[in-house]
Structure 1
Amino acid sequence: MTPAAPRIRRRDPVTPGESWPGNVPPLLRRIYAARGADRFELARPRLSDLLPPDALGGLAAALELLAAAIRDGRHIVVVGDFDCDGATACAVGVRGLRMLGAKRVSHAVPNRMVHGYGLSPALVDELAALQPELLVTVDHGIACHAGVAAARARGWQVLVTDHHLPGQQLPPADAIVNPNCAGDAFPSKCLAGVGVIFYVLVALRRHLRQAGAFPQGEPDLSTLLDLVAVGTIADLVPLDANNRALAAAGLRRLRAGQGCAGLRALVEVCGRDMACLTAADIGFAVGPRLNAAGRLEDMALGIECLLTDDPARARELAGILNDINAERRAVQQAMTDDAEAALSRARIGEGAPPLAPCLFDPEWHPGVVGLVASKMKERLHRPVLAFAPAEPGAQVLRGSARSIPGFHIRDALAAVDARHPGLVQRFGGHAMAAGLTLDLANLPAFEQAWLAHAQAALDDGLLQAELLSDGELLPQEFDRFHAEALRDGGPWGQGFPEPLFDGHFEVLEWRPIGERHLRLRLRHPERREPLAAIHFGGWQGGAPAPHLHLAYRLQPDDYRGGAAVQLVVEHAAPA
């Protein structure tokens, strides 16, 4: 399948302010300014710039619950979720509560194939053996009405900490902390689940301090920021100034070798250099290995890796997670091939793909459908839903949805649900990603309703893929100094994208690498020295055009070392 051809559009130039440290090069200043950070304090926010937790709705009730549980020695069970955000949030919750004096803290996480999503009644039944007195959900709970009610019916208290968008009604929890609840005054709505529980712990420390709980000195919660950074980056929440401060501080800990044993082991098994770890390394290497456990096996493995302080055990668990991730890649590739074949058969009109594809295969794995939806969304630049049986042969389907800018996927599901009550069993998510459950028998009716909504909401402008470029690099900026400044100038990510440039180049040499990649040697029209480039997925079976218009990133070439740099090509078109 040929990917949708994007249009390269250069960002409007923005003049940066004048108050910059001398060690920030002009290139980086203009890139920051183009992202709305026209002064150093906005470009590189510090922990001292973090928003205070006071405006979080439900915080006072949450602190009373937690403080009483710690004071009375109650059994607190932190209930995580089966993705990277949920796993890191669970580890932060367990570690943080113990640091703050809780003596009886356990954790649990649903198994995707056994319990379904979040705090379900099935999970509550299983948790009864632990005899919990307070459940603390992290990265889920806002849509878990039945599970919360089941826990309350057993006499347990429930604190929901979440960041997903709520429905019209909130679950019957004792307290809810979620910056995205209606009327919540917390200025940033971008916290990941791990960010929400970290904020709750920071506020709890202050609450306990005021009660005289730390006569020997209070614990340093900044030691949890490595986990906060990984969960925040991996969950693809927008990196606003608040999240950048959290993520940057966590990355600094990791680069200094101060991360928890599990994250250090995961970075090692990924083959990444800890000293110059980037947000991209987390997003494309560390995060997927944690996520793989929740997709194919049991996220309890991932959480154990994040909670152990034994380096040998951490390396053992990281190796297991690495093996599971290799299996996940194979499953994903097979399912992606199936999806491409289905879409090729479904092309309509003059070869155009469906407006908002709705894919299902009875042999697919429910833990991987989100990755398939994401891959198809990237290739087609259309919203995509992918479904699989909740378990082999089941009549209940689990679906994942991925969207494009301008089409709010969770709100779209809500609109379909409002027009066709009962069609969808449950749903939840964000603007760009969501999940849902429905009966197999309802899939044809759902697909019809979904496509009708997409047809009304999508227009040609939204369906045109765009690459936003930071313009051309100056001839003297193709060097190691600027490549390292760009690498270390982040964290880059959702809402604060990694710098991307475009320009015209002559192809001097080329050769395929493996089955799908292309190695290039290029000449810039204003440089004598050739430039090395790599285009992942760029090998199309024939010679590239002699002159190319490229969208690319400038990176240090650590393989060649020294002063070497390379262009990582994101898109190539004949010039």
Structure 2
Amino acid sequence: MTRIVTRSVPQRTVWQLEQQGLHPLLARLYAARGVQDKAELDYELKSLIPPTALTHASDAAQILADAIEAEARLLIIGDYDCDGATATAVGMRALKALGADVSFLLPDRFKLGYGLSPQIVDVAAQQSPDLIITVDNGIASLEGVARARELGIATLITDHHLPGETLPEADCIVNPNQPDCTFPSKCIAGVGVMFYVMLALRAELRERGFFEDHPEPNFADLLDLVALGTVADVVKLDRNNRILVSQGLKRMRAGRLQPGLAALFKATSRDPKRASAFDLGFLIGPRLNAAGRLADMRLGVECLLTDDPSRALQIAQELDALNRERREIESDMQEQALILLEAMDVNDPAAGVALFEPSWHEGVVGILASRIKEKLHRPVFAFAPSEGGIIKGSGRSIPGLHLRDALDLVAKRAPGLLVRFGGHAMAAGATLCEDDFEKFRQLFAEVAAELLAPADLTRTLETDGALEGSYFSLEMARLLENEVWGQGFPAPLFIDEFEVEQQRVLKEKHLKLRLRKGNTRIDAIQFNFSKQPGSTTRAAYRLSINEYMGVETTQLMIEHLE
């Protein structure tokens, strides 16, 4: 069952935003999302929270500036997802522009796992670095930092994940979620943290007079990478993140993007001049992530680092092929997951669901968990086998359950059950022994039942109400497409009653419709539909643009049909 609610719209705020010059539809949409003044929609770089507000960013800048002046050897250790890849690329490009001796290393997710482990430190030590810089990881790497210290290697942690009770004894930690950090944007992505550290480093070098003898780089040129990592990591788009994404999209639309990113747009047959957050989250990001899921994320980072358009296009095509392979694997895993679910009561599933299948692919369990979560509206963990009797799982949650906190509670109730865990409110990872899976499955269901209120277990679809007939136009679709929407600042979703004039099924799984509202007729499509409507329907939809043979038309993307 899906409960449909309409966002409340404070009319006085709508009136005020209209008076400040906003289009009436945008005024209504923004007011419903908590925007009270047009100034909050100023996405210029000058409106960013300054780097000095990020705790220890200045300390990190001093460490890096000293290292550059001493010609020390720097090594970035990243993560194997899109956020980690873009953060690695931002660090590499920025530090190289400042003349640093820097290289990067990414752990093999299938052999070394996530984060700055002692094993990856031993691999890193073969390059004899003076300083290890983590991006999008490290806040939970107590043993890895200790191992680096044993080997005489300094460590700088840049991360955004939630810390445990104990912090690693690194030389410096930059993480907005560490204790006593007052940085207002707690939801900044790992790439955003690294970008801030690079801004602080440039300011430190400027103060030292470094640019009297060296050219000063414009780090705004890296904002296309920052935007990609921010959207792909599905962090909440608070105002600061919206500024980063808006500025990145602005550069893409102006043709000022890295060759690798331009190649990825080409591989997806999308025009960067019309780049949107949707493109980054659903088309570009998944292709970059495919490298880390199925092969080696070094391929993805190389795509973002190369300045050779031909090489970039070659890699982008490889990433596109990997993404197609990922989709095939995911499809097979989904079928197996649905068979497992048949043994459960799908109409009344446990409050928390954990699934394991020995044939599943470790790199794809996160996407599988997300798909099953959408189907059941329950927090879901999906596990796949690793080495030595270990299984690794990825979880996705629903509003009302903080996934990392739930794992913390599981760990406290069953000490030793979780080999390791970490993550955020809506996504987390866990590692355990295969023999302990059944115990985890039961305990996770119990903890979820305690933490979730009964109302949380009903799927709620928030809409922006009806859309006036005159707004079913290309002009309005483009207006909405050009704005920045995403996690925590959702794209507009409207709901209306329609007459169904035509309907047909495409490829046995998509529903193509011709709808009528008053005197307005419009095409609509629902992907992976579950039921066909009668002669009338109530539909929740997004206003979009369909392009076919070079002709653009307005189309409704159906999210829910009644």
- Same-fold call, TM cutoff 0.5: yes
Contact kept? 2:353, 2:444, Cα under 8 Å: no
**2-side partners of 1:435 and 1:417: how far apart?**
13
**Alignment match, 2:515:** 522
Equivalence for 2:54: 56
Determine the C-alpha separation between the residues in 2 that align with 1:192 and 1:133: 26
Instruction: Work out whether 1:266 is the aligned partner of 2:268.
Output: no
Determine the structure 2 residue equivalent to 1:99.
Answer: 97
Q: Which runs of 5+ in 2 are unaligned?
A: none
Equivalent residue of 2:343, what SS?
helix
How far off is 1:39 after superposition?
2.3
User: Identity of paired residues, percent?
Assistant: 48
1:507 aligns with 2:496: no
Q: 1:512–1:539: 8 Å Cα contact kept in structure 2? A: no
Change (3 A) 1:107 1:6: same
Whole-angstrom distance in 2 between the partners of 1:61 and 1:51: 18
2:400–2:453 CA contact under 8 A, matched in 1: no
Measure how far apart 1:43 and its partner are: 2.7
| 2:305 equivalent among 299, 304, 307 | 307
Q: 1:62-101, aligned counterparts within 5 Å?
A: 62-101=60-99
Structure 1 stretch displaced more, 196-205 or 445-454:
445-454
Deviation for aligned residue 1:546: 1.2
State the alpha-carbon separation in 2 of the partners of residues 199 and 341 from structure 1: 46
> For residue 41 of structure 1, what is the aligned residue in structure 2?
39
Query: Paired residue for 1:205?
Result: 202
Question: Aligned to 1:328, what secondary structure does the other structure show?
Answer: helix
| 1:556 shift after superposition | 2.1
Which whole-Å CA distance do the structure 2 matches of 1:445 and 1:520 have between them? 47
- 1:163·1:191 contact (CA, 8 Å) conserved in 2? yes
* Deviation, structure 1 residue 105: 0.6
1:351-370 aligned at under 5 Å gives the runs 351-370=347-366
Aligned-residue offset at 1:257: 1.3
Structure 2 contact 18–24 (Cα < 8 Å) conserved = no
Task: Summarize deviations over 1:171-228 as a string: whole Å, max 9, x none.
Answer: 1211100000011111110110000000001111111101101015521000000000
For residues 71-470 of structure 1, the aligned pairs below 5 Å read 71-102=69-100, 104-215=101-212, 217-347=215-345, 351-391=347-387, 394-470=388-464
Give the Cα–Cα distance (whole angstroms) in 1 for the partners of residues 217 and 15 of structure 2: 39
81-90 vs 556-565, greater mean Cα deviation: 556-565
**Cα distance per residue 1:209-268 (max 9 Å; x no partner):** 011010155210000000000000000000000000000000111111111010100011
Deviations 1:476-522 (A, max 9, x none): 11111111111112x11001000000010010001111121011000
* TM-score, L = length of structure 1: 0.95
Q: 8 Å contact 1:137–1:162 — kept in the other structure? A: yes
Instruction: Kindly state the Cα deviation for residue 557 of structure 1 after the two structures are TM-superposed.
Output: 2.5
Aligned residues: 559
Give SS of 1:557's match: strand
1:473 aligns with 2:467: yes
Compute the RMSD of aligned alpha carbons: 1.5
Paired residue type of 1:155: G
Q: Secondary structure at the match of 1:518?
A: strand
Residues 469 and 560 of structure 1, relative CA distance in 2, 3 Å threshold: farther
Q: Using the alignment, how far apart are the partners of 2:259 and 2:18 within structure 1? A: 37
Contact 1:377 1:384 in 2 (8 A): yes
Counterpart CA distance in 2 for 1:358 and 1:287 is 26
Question: Matched residues in 1 for 2:95 and 2:489: separation?
Answer: 32
Q: Residue type of the partner of 2:35?
A: A
Local SS of the residue matching 1:354: coil
SS of residue paired to 1:142: coil
Alignment check: 8 A CA contact 2:58 2:200 kept: no
Normalised by the length of structure 2, the TM-score is 0.97
Which amino acid counterpart does residue 349 of structure 2 have in structure 1? P
Do 1:427 and 1:434's aligned partners in 2 also have CA atoms closer than 8 Å? Answer: yes
Matches of 1:217 and 1:87, distance apart in 2: 26
SS in 1 for 2:326: helix
Stretches of 4+ aligned residues off by more than 3 angstroms = 19-24, 560-563
Q: CA deviation at 1:539?
A: 5.5
SS at match of 1:214: helix
Contact 1:7/1:464, CA 8 A, preserved across alignment: yes
Offset of 1:155 from its aligned partner? 0.7
Instruction: Give me the whole-angstrom Cα distance separating, in 2, the residues matched to 1:562 and 1:86.
Output: 38
**Cα distance in structure 1, aligned partners of 2:549 and 2:469:** 21
1:85·1:232 contact (CA, 8 Å) conserved in 2?
A: yes
How far apart, in 2, do the equivalents of 1:401 and 1:298 lie?
Answer: 22
Q: Is the 8 A contact 1:269 1:318 kept in 2?
A: yes
> Match for 1:568 among 543, 557, 560?
557
Q: Deviations over 1:39-89 (max 9, x none)?
A: 222134221110012222222331221111100001101111000000000
Letter in 2 for 1:507: V
**How far apart are 1:21 and its partner, in Å?**
8.2
Letter in 2 for 1:381: H
**Aligned-pair distance for 1:562?**
5.5
Q: SS of the counterpart of 1:185?
A: coil
